[in-house]
């Protein structure tokens, strides 16, 4: 649930709209996505745990990005050429190993989600070209969704920090604002030496 916006955004709407809800959470709406970042208003009832941000759920983002890029490249290769039985078996093994490696860099919630959506290939059965393409495309799509969620959450965090900084600036008494780097000191202000 998103409450009414307490501040008007200062940036043009082509980049996105950000604001603060009445309960202190920051939201961001862009032409392609929406995110709400910040502490939830109440604790989540599932197992008594607090809800985590997607940025906290990826323990090893560099590893997840490398594997994601590798899987995307493999998908392009699978699309471009027919595969013989040996290469299909090799891709099956790579797919299974990639999922196992991804699990090491993710929080348990994301591991459970990944296990629900990815069905393993049988060890004694060689998958068809179509099965490999579908499995790889599904994994690439899931990873791209994860990356998009992380980017949106980071953008929301940046907007929250910007809003907090702006609130702090407004709280300063007039004339106490921090001058820019090129600003001259006001008349009567002491120099570097006493």
Task: Give the pTM.
Answer: 0.59
In-domain check, residue 2: no
Domain that holds residue 101: 55-149
Per-residue pLDDT reduced to its tens digit, 50-69? 566 777 788 888 888 888 88
Residue 174: beta bridge partners? none
Q: Which one is predicted more confidently, 80 or 187?
A: 80
In-domain check, residue 94: yes
In-domain check, residue 79: yes
In-domain check, residue 106: yes
Residue 88 and residue 129 in contact, taking contact as beta carbons nearer than 8 Å: yes
Q: Which one is predicted more confidently, 25 or 130?
A: 130
Residue 28 and residue 155 in contact, taking contact as beta carbons nearer than 8 Å: yes
| Domain total of the chain | 1
In-domain check, residue 67: yes
48 pLDDT higher than 50: no
């Amino acid at each position: 649930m998103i409450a009414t916006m307490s501040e008007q955004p200062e940036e043009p709407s082509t980049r996105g709209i950000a604001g603060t809800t009445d309960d202190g959470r920051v939201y961001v709406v862009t032409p392609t996505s929406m995110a709400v970042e910040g502490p939830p208003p109440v604790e989540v009832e599932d197992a008594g745990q607090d809800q985590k941000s997607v940025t906290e759920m990826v323990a090893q983002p560099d590893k997840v990005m490398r594997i994601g890029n590798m899987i995307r490249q493999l998908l392009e290769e699978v699309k471009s050429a027919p595969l013989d039985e040996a290469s299909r078996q090799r891709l099956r093994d790579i797919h299974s190993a990639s999922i196992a490696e991804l699990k090491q860099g993710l929080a348990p919630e994301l591991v459970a989600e990944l296990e629900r959506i990815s069905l393993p290939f049988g060890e004694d059965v060689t998958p068809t070209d179509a099965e490999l393409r579908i499995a790889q495309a599904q994994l690439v799509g899931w990873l791209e969704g994860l990356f998009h969620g992380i980017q949106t959450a980071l953008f929301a965090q940046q907007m929250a920090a910007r809003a907090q900084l702006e609130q702090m600036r407004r709280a300063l008494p007039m004339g106490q604002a921090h001058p820019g780097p090129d600003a001259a000191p006001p008349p009567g202000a002491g120099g570097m030496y006493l």
